[in-house]
């Protein structure tokens, strides 16, 4: 029972942070025209991407290596993975100013797909003993999707830095 409660705490924490960020977005929208190239919008993209990179790497490092062995239980790192895996993409969504053209738009769609697949993974994780095969299959889909997502982000960042986005946005 206590485990089940703790299982939802990460979603509650992420939800509260997202509500606060929604307030920030409303203020941003009232004061400026939200865009990826706006200085504040740009920072939202950078911080969101950093959180997503942490999501991609830290949990795997804790789970698969000895590097973070002393830094708490694997389950707590999964909770952290889920909080950063929701807040990071939300910051990136704020960064887009709700425009979804070109490769950047595709990258945002990929981000949403990875987040949705995360929810499916979380459902399977809680039932992993009964659903071993599905859970193994889910890993095969989820991990390459994440890698494709970061390849797409890298092109978008390069386009933004070197070509001021242009056709590749």
Nearer to ligand HEM, 1 or 38 (CB): 38
Q: Taking CB under 6 A as the rule, does residue 99 contact ligand HEM?
A: yes
Residue 49 buriedness (CB in 10 A; 0-12 / 13-18 / 19+): buried
Among 21, 28, 45, 79, binds ligand HEM (CB under 6 A): 45
Query: Residues 121, 59: contact at Cβ < 8 Å?
Result: no
Which DSSP symbol is given to 163? S
Stretch of residues binding ligand HEM (CB under 6 A), selected from 1-9, 17-25, 30-38, 65-73:
30-38
Q: 109, 50, 133: which is closest to 85 by C-alpha?
A: 50
Q: Taking CB under 6 A as the rule, does residue 78 contact ligand HEM?
A: yes
Q: How far apart are the first and last CA of the chain?
A: 47
Q: 50, 27, 28, 12: which is closest to 96 by C-alpha?
A: 28
Q: Taking CB under 6 A as the rule, does residue 113 contact ligand HEM?
A: no
Among 21, 28, 34, 52, binds ligand HEM (CB under 6 A): 52
Q: Taking CB under 6 A as the rule, does residue 121 contact ligand HEM?
A: yes
Which DSSP symbol is given to 167? G
Q: Taking CB under 6 A as the rule, does residue 96 contact ligand HEM?
A: yes
Among 21, 77, 79, 89, binds ligand HEM (CB under 6 A): 89
Q: Taking CB under 6 A as the rule, does residue 49 contact ligand HEM?
A: yes
- Give the residue carrying structure tokens 């939202």: 44
CB atoms under 10 Å from CB of 124, counted, come to: 18
d(CA 62, CA 111): 23
Contact residues toward ligand HEM (CB under 6 A) are 35-37, 42, 45-46, 49, 52, 55-56, 59-60, 63-64, 78, 81-82, 85-86, 88-89, 92, 95-96, 99-101, 104-105, 107-108, 111, 114-115, 118-119, 121-122, 125, 142-143, 146, 153, 156-157, 160, 165, 169
């Amino acid at each position: 029972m206590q485990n089940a409660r703790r299982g939802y705490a990460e979603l509650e924490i992420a939800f509260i942070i997202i509500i606060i960020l929604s307030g920030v977005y409303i203020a941003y929208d009232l004061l400026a025209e939200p865009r990826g190239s706006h200085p504040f919008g740009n920072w939202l993209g950078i911080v969101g991407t950093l959180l997503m990179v942490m999501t991609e790497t830290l949990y795997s490092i804790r789970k698969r290596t000895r590097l973070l062995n002393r830094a708490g239980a694997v389950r707590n790192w999964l909770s952290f993975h889920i909080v950063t895996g929701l807040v990071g993409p939300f910051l990136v969504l704020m960064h887009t100013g709700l425009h979804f053209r070109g490769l950047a738009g595709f990258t945002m769609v990929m981000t949403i797909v990875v987040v949705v697949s995360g929810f499916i993974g979380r459902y399977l994780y809680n039932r992993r003993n009964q659903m071993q095969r599905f859970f193994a299959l889910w890993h095969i889909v989820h991990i390459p999707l994440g890698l494709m997502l970061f390849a797409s982000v890298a092109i978008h960042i390069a386009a933004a830095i070197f070509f001021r986005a242009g056709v590749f946005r």
